[in-house]
Chain A
Amino acid sequence: MESTFGLEIYAANRQFFAGRAKSLIIPAEDGQKEFLAHHANMICAIVPGEMRFEDSEGNWLTVAVSSGFVEMINNRAKLFCLTVERPEEIDIRRAEEARDRAEEQLRQKQSIVEYHRSQAALARAMIRLRVSKNI
Protein backbone atom coordinates (compact mmCIF):
# COMPACT_ATOMS: atom_id res chain seq x y z
CA MET A 1 0.00 0.00 0.00
CA GLU A 2 1.23 3.41 -0.91
CA SER A 3 1.81 5.79 1.91
CA THR A 4 -0.74 8.54 2.38
CA PHE A 5 -1.29 11.42 4.74
CA GLY A 6 -4.37 12.94 6.33
CA LEU A 7 -5.62 16.00 4.50
CA GLU A 8 -8.28 18.44 5.70
CA ILE A 9 -9.15 21.40 3.53
CA TYR A 10 -11.16 24.21 5.09
CA ALA A 11 -12.73 27.03 3.15
CA ALA A 12 -14.31 29.86 5.07
CA ASN A 13 -17.83 28.70 4.36
CA ARG A 14 -17.45 24.91 4.48
CA GLN A 15 -15.16 22.00 4.98
CA PHE A 16 -14.04 21.25 1.47
CA PHE A 17 -12.27 17.94 1.88
CA ALA A 18 -11.35 15.49 4.61
CA GLY A 19 -9.62 12.22 3.95
CA ARG A 20 -6.38 10.59 2.94
CA ALA A 21 -4.24 12.00 0.16
CA LYS A 22 -1.09 10.96 -1.63
CA SER A 23 0.12 14.31 -2.83
CA LEU A 24 -0.69 17.98 -2.47
CA ILE A 25 0.70 20.71 -4.71
CA ILE A 26 0.13 24.25 -3.54
CA PRO A 27 0.96 27.62 -5.07
CA ALA A 28 3.57 29.26 -2.84
CA GLU A 29 5.26 32.60 -3.04
CA ASP A 30 8.16 31.44 -5.20
CA GLY A 31 6.45 28.79 -7.29
CA GLN A 32 4.75 25.51 -6.46
CA LYS A 33 5.39 23.26 -3.53
CA GLU A 34 4.53 19.60 -3.28
CA PHE A 35 3.75 17.76 -0.07
CA LEU A 36 4.03 13.98 0.00
CA ALA A 37 3.41 11.62 2.89
CA HIS A 38 5.75 12.05 5.88
CA HIS A 39 6.81 15.51 4.85
CA ALA A 40 8.78 17.40 7.48
CA ASN A 41 6.68 19.48 9.88
CA MET A 42 6.01 22.74 8.17
CA ILE A 43 3.68 25.70 7.97
CA CYS A 44 3.57 27.30 4.57
CA ALA A 45 1.80 30.36 3.24
CA ILE A 46 -0.35 29.94 0.15
CA VAL A 47 -0.78 32.63 -2.47
CA PRO A 48 -3.87 32.77 -4.70
CA GLY A 49 -3.50 30.22 -7.45
CA GLU A 50 -4.19 26.77 -8.73
CA MET A 51 -3.89 23.91 -6.25
CA ARG A 52 -3.86 20.19 -7.04
CA PHE A 53 -4.09 17.14 -4.85
CA GLU A 54 -4.28 13.40 -5.34
CA ASP A 55 -6.63 11.46 -3.11
CA SER A 56 -5.98 7.91 -1.89
CA GLU A 57 -7.65 6.40 -4.98
CA GLY A 58 -5.29 8.25 -7.27
CA ASN A 59 -7.74 10.84 -8.61
CA TRP A 60 -6.25 14.26 -9.18
CA LEU A 61 -8.40 17.24 -8.37
CA THR A 62 -7.56 20.79 -9.41
CA VAL A 63 -9.11 23.68 -7.48
CA ALA A 64 -8.75 27.43 -7.34
CA VAL A 65 -7.64 28.79 -3.95
CA SER A 66 -7.26 32.27 -2.53
CA SER A 67 -4.64 33.22 0.03
CA GLY A 68 -4.24 31.10 3.10
CA PHE A 69 -1.83 28.63 4.61
CA VAL A 70 -1.24 24.93 5.13
CA GLU A 71 0.20 23.23 8.17
CA MET A 72 1.74 19.79 7.86
CA ILE A 73 2.34 18.28 11.27
CA ASN A 74 2.88 14.62 12.12
CA ASN A 75 1.76 13.49 8.67
CA ARG A 76 -1.50 15.41 8.94
CA ALA A 77 -2.08 18.42 6.72
CA LYS A 78 -4.64 21.10 7.46
CA LEU A 79 -5.22 23.69 4.81
CA PHE A 80 -7.04 26.98 5.38
CA CYS A 81 -8.11 29.26 2.56
CA LEU A 82 -10.84 31.86 2.35
CA THR A 83 -12.19 30.28 -0.81
CA VAL A 84 -11.65 26.87 -2.39
CA GLU A 85 -13.53 26.20 -5.60
CA ARG A 86 -13.83 23.25 -7.94
CA PRO A 87 -13.61 24.02 -11.66
CA GLU A 88 -17.29 23.27 -12.18
CA GLU A 89 -18.31 25.59 -9.38
CA ILE A 90 -16.68 28.62 -10.93
CA ASP A 91 -18.98 31.15 -12.51
CA ILE A 92 -17.05 31.84 -15.69
CA ARG A 93 -19.02 34.86 -16.74
CA ARG A 94 -18.65 36.46 -13.32
CA ALA A 95 -14.91 35.83 -13.36
CA GLU A 96 -14.64 37.33 -16.84
CA GLU A 97 -16.55 40.39 -15.74
CA ALA A 98 -14.32 40.71 -12.69
CA ARG A 99 -11.23 40.46 -14.89
CA ASP A 100 -12.47 43.14 -17.29
CA ARG A 101 -13.42 45.41 -14.41
CA ALA A 102 -10.04 44.98 -12.75
CA GLU A 103 -8.18 45.60 -16.01
CA GLU A 104 -10.18 48.73 -16.61
CA GLN A 105 -9.49 50.01 -13.12
CA LEU A 106 -5.79 49.31 -13.47
CA ARG A 107 -5.66 51.54 -16.55
CA GLN A 108 -6.86 54.50 -14.53
CA LYS A 109 -4.90 56.53 -12.07
CA GLN A 110 -5.34 55.08 -8.63
CA SER A 111 -4.02 55.29 -5.13
CA ILE A 112 -1.62 52.58 -3.99
CA VAL A 113 -4.36 50.84 -2.01
CA GLU A 114 -6.72 50.81 -4.94
CA TYR A 115 -3.94 49.58 -7.19
CA HIS A 116 -3.20 46.61 -4.94
CA ARG A 117 -6.86 45.86 -4.59
CA SER A 118 -7.50 45.81 -8.32
CA GLN A 119 -4.38 43.77 -8.87
CA ALA A 120 -5.50 41.19 -6.32
CA ALA A 121 -8.95 41.11 -7.91
CA LEU A 122 -7.36 40.61 -11.33
CA ALA A 123 -5.21 37.76 -9.99
CA ARG A 124 -8.24 36.03 -8.46
CA ALA A 125 -10.22 36.35 -11.68
CA MET A 126 -7.37 35.02 -13.83
CA ILE A 127 -6.90 31.99 -11.56
CA ARG A 128 -10.59 31.19 -11.64
CA LEU A 129 -10.62 31.37 -15.41
CA ARG A 130 -7.54 29.18 -15.68
CA VAL A 131 -8.89 26.55 -13.34
CA SER A 132 -12.27 26.53 -15.03
CA LYS A 133 -10.63 25.48 -18.30
CA ASN A 134 -9.85 22.10 -16.67
CA ILE A 135 -13.41 20.82 -16.59
Chain B
Amino acid sequence: MANAREIKSRISSVQDTMKITNAMYMISSSKMKKAKKILSDTEPYFYNMQGAIARILRHVPDIQHPFFSVRHLIPQEERKIATIVVTGDKGMAGAYNHNITRMTEEFIASTPGYHKLYVLGMVGRQYFGKKDVDMDGSFHYTVQKPTMHRARLISEEVVRSFLEREVDEVHIIYTQMQNAVVMEPVNMQLLPLKKTNFSPLEVPVGVHQEEIEMFPSTDGVLDIMIPNYLTGVIYGCLVEAYASENNARMTAMQSSTDSAKKMLQDLSIQYNRARQAAITQEITEVCSGAKAQKRKGR
Protein backbone atom coordinates (compact mmCIF):
# COMPACT_ATOMS: atom_id res chain seq x y z
CA MET B 1 0.00 0.00 0.00
CA ALA B 2 1.24 3.48 -0.89
CA ASN B 3 2.14 5.66 2.02
CA ALA B 4 -0.09 8.43 3.29
CA ARG B 5 1.88 11.31 1.83
CA GLU B 6 1.80 9.89 -1.70
CA ILE B 7 -1.95 9.42 -1.52
CA LYS B 8 -2.36 12.92 -0.22
CA SER B 9 -0.51 14.49 -3.15
CA ARG B 10 -2.58 12.36 -5.53
CA ILE B 11 -5.76 13.64 -3.91
CA SER B 12 -4.73 17.25 -4.30
CA SER B 13 -3.84 16.76 -7.97
CA VAL B 14 -7.22 15.14 -8.64
CA GLN B 15 -8.88 18.03 -6.84
CA ASP B 16 -7.07 20.56 -9.04
CA THR B 17 -8.14 18.76 -12.21
CA MET B 18 -11.68 18.62 -10.94
CA LYS B 19 -11.67 22.38 -10.48
CA ILE B 20 -10.71 22.81 -14.13
CA THR B 21 -13.27 20.36 -15.50
CA ASN B 22 -15.96 21.87 -13.34
CA ALA B 23 -15.13 25.38 -14.60
CA MET B 24 -15.17 24.18 -18.19
CA TYR B 25 -18.53 22.57 -17.59
CA MET B 26 -19.92 25.84 -16.34
CA ILE B 27 -18.48 27.86 -19.24
CA SER B 28 -19.81 25.52 -21.90
CA SER B 29 -23.23 25.35 -20.35
CA SER B 30 -23.55 29.14 -20.46
CA LYS B 31 -22.21 29.20 -24.02
CA MET B 32 -24.68 26.56 -25.05
CA LYS B 33 -27.57 28.51 -23.63
CA LYS B 34 -26.48 31.51 -25.70
CA ALA B 35 -26.12 29.41 -28.84
CA LYS B 36 -29.56 27.90 -28.36
CA LYS B 37 -31.06 31.35 -28.11
CA ILE B 38 -29.38 32.48 -31.33
CA LEU B 39 -30.61 29.31 -33.00
CA SER B 40 -34.21 29.90 -32.00
CA ASP B 41 -33.92 33.54 -33.16
CA THR B 42 -32.90 32.52 -36.67
CA GLU B 43 -35.54 29.84 -37.05
CA PRO B 44 -38.50 31.98 -38.20
CA TYR B 45 -36.44 33.59 -40.96
CA PHE B 46 -35.19 30.27 -42.07
CA TYR B 47 -38.44 28.33 -42.23
CA ASN B 48 -40.38 31.11 -43.87
CA MET B 49 -37.64 31.55 -46.44
CA GLN B 50 -37.82 27.86 -47.25
CA GLY B 51 -41.57 28.22 -47.66
CA ALA B 52 -41.12 31.16 -50.02
CA ILE B 53 -38.69 29.27 -52.23
CA ALA B 54 -41.07 26.33 -52.28
CA ARG B 55 -43.81 28.65 -53.41
CA ILE B 56 -41.75 30.00 -56.28
CA LEU B 57 -40.86 26.49 -57.37
CA ARG B 58 -44.48 25.45 -57.21
CA HIS B 59 -45.54 28.29 -59.43
CA VAL B 60 -42.66 28.07 -61.84
CA PRO B 61 -42.10 24.31 -62.01
CA ASP B 62 -39.94 24.15 -65.12
CA ILE B 63 -37.32 26.48 -63.73
CA GLN B 64 -33.93 26.49 -65.37
CA HIS B 65 -31.49 28.09 -63.05
CA PRO B 66 -27.77 27.42 -62.58
CA PHE B 67 -28.27 26.71 -58.87
CA PHE B 68 -30.59 23.83 -59.67
CA SER B 69 -28.57 22.33 -62.51
CA VAL B 70 -27.27 18.89 -61.56
CA ARG B 71 -24.72 18.87 -64.43
CA HIS B 72 -25.61 15.43 -65.69
CA LEU B 73 -23.02 15.65 -68.42
CA ILE B 74 -20.13 15.28 -66.02
CA PRO B 75 -19.55 11.61 -65.15
CA GLN B 76 -19.48 10.64 -61.50
CA GLU B 77 -15.71 9.96 -61.45
CA GLU B 78 -14.85 13.42 -62.70
CA ARG B 79 -17.14 15.41 -60.49
CA LYS B 80 -15.47 17.85 -58.16
CA ILE B 81 -17.07 17.69 -54.75
CA ALA B 82 -16.43 20.38 -52.18
CA THR B 83 -17.25 19.70 -48.55
CA ILE B 84 -17.45 22.19 -45.74
CA VAL B 85 -16.43 20.39 -42.56
CA VAL B 86 -17.38 22.02 -39.27
CA THR B 87 -15.20 20.88 -36.35
CA GLY B 88 -14.34 22.49 -33.04
CA ASP B 89 -11.42 24.76 -32.20
CA LYS B 90 -10.31 22.55 -29.36
CA GLY B 91 -10.78 19.05 -28.06
CA MET B 92 -12.11 18.02 -24.64
CA ALA B 93 -15.54 17.49 -26.11
CA GLY B 94 -15.95 13.74 -26.08
CA ALA B 95 -16.48 12.20 -29.48
CA TYR B 96 -17.64 15.45 -31.10
CA ASN B 97 -14.62 16.01 -33.36
CA HIS B 98 -13.99 12.34 -33.92
CA ASN B 99 -17.51 11.75 -35.25
CA ILE B 100 -17.14 14.56 -37.78
CA THR B 101 -13.72 13.53 -39.07
CA ARG B 102 -14.80 9.90 -39.33
CA MET B 103 -17.93 10.81 -41.27
CA THR B 104 -15.88 13.00 -43.62
CA GLU B 105 -13.42 10.21 -44.31
CA GLU B 106 -16.20 7.73 -44.93
CA PHE B 107 -17.85 10.17 -47.32
CA ILE B 108 -14.59 10.70 -49.24
CA ALA B 109 -13.97 6.96 -49.43
CA SER B 110 -17.50 6.04 -50.51
CA THR B 111 -18.14 8.75 -53.12
CA PRO B 112 -16.16 8.65 -56.35
CA GLY B 113 -14.92 11.96 -57.70
CA TYR B 114 -12.41 14.59 -56.83
CA HIS B 115 -12.79 15.86 -53.28
CA LYS B 116 -11.92 19.21 -51.86
CA LEU B 117 -12.33 20.15 -48.21
CA TYR B 118 -13.12 23.47 -46.64
CA VAL B 119 -12.36 22.84 -43.00
CA LEU B 120 -13.63 25.06 -40.22
CA GLY B 121 -12.09 24.79 -36.78
CA MET B 122 -8.55 24.14 -35.59
CA VAL B 123 -8.99 20.48 -34.68
CA GLY B 124 -10.18 19.49 -38.13
CA ARG B 125 -7.56 21.59 -39.86
CA GLN B 126 -4.75 19.95 -37.93
CA TYR B 127 -6.22 16.50 -38.47
CA PHE B 128 -6.69 16.83 -42.23
CA GLY B 129 -3.42 18.75 -42.62
CA LYS B 130 -1.58 15.54 -41.85
CA LYS B 131 -3.70 13.46 -44.23
CA ASP B 132 -3.46 13.13 -47.95
CA VAL B 133 -6.45 15.28 -48.86
CA ASP B 134 -6.94 18.50 -50.77
CA MET B 135 -7.76 21.09 -48.16
CA ASP B 136 -8.31 24.72 -49.00
CA GLY B 137 -5.57 26.50 -47.08
CA SER B 138 -7.06 29.97 -47.32
CA PHE B 139 -10.12 29.00 -45.38
CA HIS B 140 -9.21 30.31 -41.95
CA TYR B 141 -12.33 30.80 -39.96
CA THR B 142 -12.83 29.98 -36.34
CA VAL B 143 -16.04 28.39 -35.17
CA GLN B 144 -16.29 30.42 -32.00
CA LYS B 145 -19.11 32.97 -31.95
CA PRO B 146 -20.73 32.28 -35.32
CA THR B 147 -21.76 35.51 -37.04
CA MET B 148 -23.76 36.38 -40.10
CA HIS B 149 -20.72 38.05 -41.58
CA ARG B 150 -18.66 34.87 -41.45
CA ALA B 151 -21.52 32.84 -42.93
CA ARG B 152 -21.74 35.36 -45.75
CA LEU B 153 -18.02 35.07 -46.54
CA ILE B 154 -18.25 31.29 -46.61
CA SER B 155 -21.34 31.21 -48.80
CA GLU B 156 -19.83 33.80 -51.17
CA GLU B 157 -16.82 31.59 -51.60
CA VAL B 158 -18.76 28.39 -52.30
CA VAL B 159 -21.31 30.09 -54.55
CA ARG B 160 -18.53 31.68 -56.57
CA SER B 161 -16.63 28.44 -57.03
CA PHE B 162 -19.85 26.63 -57.91
CA LEU B 163 -20.87 29.15 -60.54
CA GLU B 164 -17.38 29.27 -62.02
CA ARG B 165 -17.49 25.49 -62.28
CA GLU B 166 -14.54 24.96 -59.99
CA VAL B 167 -16.76 22.54 -58.10
CA ASP B 168 -19.87 20.61 -59.14
CA GLU B 169 -21.33 19.80 -55.75
CA VAL B 170 -21.14 21.42 -52.36
CA HIS B 171 -21.81 19.52 -49.16
CA ILE B 172 -21.62 20.50 -45.53
CA ILE B 173 -20.84 18.10 -42.69
CA TYR B 174 -21.78 19.39 -39.28
CA THR B 175 -23.23 18.16 -36.01
CA GLN B 176 -26.95 18.38 -35.61
CA MET B 177 -28.50 18.61 -32.21
CA GLN B 178 -31.59 16.48 -32.06
CA ASN B 179 -32.15 17.01 -28.36
CA ALA B 180 -30.08 17.70 -25.28
CA VAL B 181 -28.60 14.19 -25.33
CA VAL B 182 -28.53 13.03 -28.95
CA MET B 183 -26.17 14.76 -31.35
CA GLU B 184 -25.47 13.35 -34.75
CA PRO B 185 -23.14 14.32 -37.56
CA VAL B 186 -25.08 15.16 -40.70
CA ASN B 187 -24.04 15.41 -44.31
CA MET B 188 -26.21 17.87 -46.21
CA GLN B 189 -26.01 18.84 -49.85
CA LEU B 190 -26.00 22.60 -50.33
CA LEU B 191 -25.52 22.88 -54.09
CA PRO B 192 -26.98 22.11 -56.57
CA LEU B 193 -30.28 22.59 -54.78
CA LYS B 194 -32.72 19.74 -54.97
CA LYS B 195 -36.20 20.81 -55.89
CA THR B 196 -37.69 17.92 -53.95
CA ASN B 197 -36.28 19.36 -50.73
CA PHE B 198 -38.60 22.30 -51.01
CA SER B 199 -41.80 20.84 -52.39
CA PRO B 200 -42.06 17.14 -51.68
CA LEU B 201 -45.70 16.98 -52.68
CA GLU B 202 -46.86 16.99 -56.26
CA VAL B 203 -49.44 19.67 -56.88
CA PRO B 204 -52.65 17.94 -57.86
CA VAL B 205 -54.01 18.73 -61.29
CA GLY B 206 -56.89 21.16 -61.35
CA VAL B 207 -55.92 23.15 -58.26
CA HIS B 208 -56.11 26.83 -58.95
CA GLN B 209 -52.71 28.47 -58.87
CA GLU B 210 -52.60 32.20 -58.52
CA GLU B 211 -50.32 34.04 -60.83
CA ILE B 212 -47.29 35.69 -59.32
CA GLU B 213 -45.31 38.38 -60.99
CA MET B 214 -41.56 38.26 -60.48
CA PHE B 215 -39.58 41.44 -60.43
CA PRO B 216 -37.14 42.06 -62.13
CA SER B 217 -37.40 38.45 -63.40
CA THR B 218 -37.61 34.93 -62.02
CA ASP B 219 -33.89 34.52 -62.51
CA GLY B 220 -33.19 37.89 -60.98
CA VAL B 221 -35.20 37.02 -57.89
CA LEU B 222 -33.58 33.61 -57.54
CA ASP B 223 -30.14 35.14 -58.04
CA ILE B 224 -30.64 37.14 -54.87
CA MET B 225 -32.76 34.66 -52.99
CA ILE B 226 -30.59 31.59 -53.25
CA PRO B 227 -27.26 33.02 -52.05
CA ASN B 228 -29.26 34.56 -49.20
CA TYR B 229 -30.86 31.24 -48.47
CA LEU B 230 -27.47 29.51 -48.51
CA THR B 231 -26.02 32.11 -46.18
CA GLY B 232 -28.92 31.43 -43.88
CA VAL B 233 -28.39 27.67 -44.07
CA ILE B 234 -24.67 27.96 -43.39
CA TYR B 235 -25.30 30.32 -40.52
CA GLY B 236 -27.82 27.88 -39.08
CA CYS B 237 -25.33 25.02 -39.43
CA LEU B 238 -22.56 27.01 -37.75
CA VAL B 239 -24.80 27.93 -34.85
CA GLU B 240 -26.05 24.40 -34.46
CA ALA B 241 -22.54 22.97 -34.58
CA TYR B 242 -21.46 25.51 -31.98
CA ALA B 243 -24.34 24.54 -29.72
CA SER B 244 -23.56 20.84 -30.18
CA GLU B 245 -19.88 21.37 -29.49
CA ASN B 246 -20.60 23.07 -26.23
CA ASN B 247 -23.21 20.51 -25.34
CA ALA B 248 -20.71 17.72 -26.03
CA ARG B 249 -18.08 19.48 -23.95
CA MET B 250 -20.59 20.00 -21.18
CA THR B 251 -21.45 16.32 -21.06
CA ALA B 252 -17.80 15.27 -21.26
CA MET B 253 -16.77 17.64 -18.51
CA GLN B 254 -19.65 16.60 -16.31
CA SER B 255 -18.73 12.93 -16.60
CA SER B 256 -15.08 13.69 -15.87
CA THR B 257 -16.08 15.74 -12.84
CA ASP B 258 -18.18 12.81 -11.71
CA SER B 259 -15.36 10.33 -12.12
CA ALA B 260 -12.99 12.71 -10.35
CA LYS B 261 -15.41 12.74 -7.43
CA LYS B 262 -15.49 8.97 -7.41
CA MET B 263 -11.71 8.80 -7.50
CA LEU B 264 -11.51 11.22 -4.61
CA GLN B 265 -13.81 9.06 -2.58
CA ASP B 266 -11.74 5.94 -3.24
CA LEU B 267 -8.52 7.79 -2.53
CA SER B 268 -9.81 9.19 0.74
CA ILE B 269 -10.72 5.70 1.90
CA GLN B 270 -7.24 4.50 0.95
CA TYR B 271 -5.71 7.48 2.72
CA ASN B 272 -7.64 6.81 5.90
CA ARG B 273 -6.61 3.16 5.81
CA ALA B 274 -2.97 4.08 5.33
CA ARG B 275 -3.17 6.59 8.16
CA GLN B 276 -4.86 4.05 10.43
CA ALA B 277 -2.23 1.44 9.60
CA ALA B 278 0.54 3.92 10.40
CA ILE B 279 -1.07 4.74 13.77
CA THR B 280 -1.54 1.08 14.64
CA GLN B 281 2.05 0.39 13.78
CA GLU B 282 3.25 3.26 15.92
CA ILE B 283 1.20 2.09 18.88
CA THR B 284 2.60 -1.40 18.52
CA GLU B 285 6.09 0.01 18.43
CA VAL B 286 5.56 2.18 21.48
CA CYS B 287 3.96 -0.68 23.44
CA SER B 288 6.63 -3.16 22.62
CA GLY B 289 9.30 -0.58 23.44
CA ALA B 290 7.69 0.12 26.82
CA LYS B 291 7.39 -3.57 27.57
CA ALA B 292 11.04 -4.12 26.80
CA GLN B 293 11.98 -1.27 29.13
CA LYS B 294 9.86 -2.77 31.91
CA ARG B 295 11.51 -6.13 31.54
CA LYS B 296 14.96 -4.53 31.69
CA GLY B 297 14.08 -2.59 34.86
CA ARG B 298 13.04 -5.70 36.71
Contacts and interface: CB of A to CB of B under 8 A. Distances in A.
B203 to A, nearest CB: 16
Contacts of A83: 148
Interface residues of A, number: 30
Contact of B42 (A13, A46, A113): A13
A128 B86 CA distance: 32
A80 B56 CA distance: 14
A41 B44 contact: no
Given A12-B235, A71-B55, A78 B48 contact: yes
Given A69-B224, A80-B48, A44 B211 contact: no
A25 interface: no
Contact of A71 (B41, B52, B211): B52
B49 interface: yes
B158 to A, nearest CB: 13
Interface in A13-45: 13-15, 28-30, 33, 40-45
Interface residues of B, number: 30
Contact of A10 (B44, B55, B221): B44
Given A13-B38, A80-B52, A40 B213 contact: yes
A73 B211 CA distance: 9
Q: Taking chain B's interface residues, is the majority helix, strand, or loop, or is none over half, making it mixed?
A: helix
Given A71-B55, A83-B148, A43 B45 contact: no
Interface string B199-216: 000000000001111111
A132 B225 CA distance: 27
Interface string B4-35: 00000000000000000000000000000000
B88 interface: no
A44 B42 CA distance: 22
Contact of B212 (A8, A73, A80): A73
Interface of A: 8, 10-15, 28-30, 33, 40-46, 67-69, 71, 73-74, 78, 80, 82-83, 113, 117
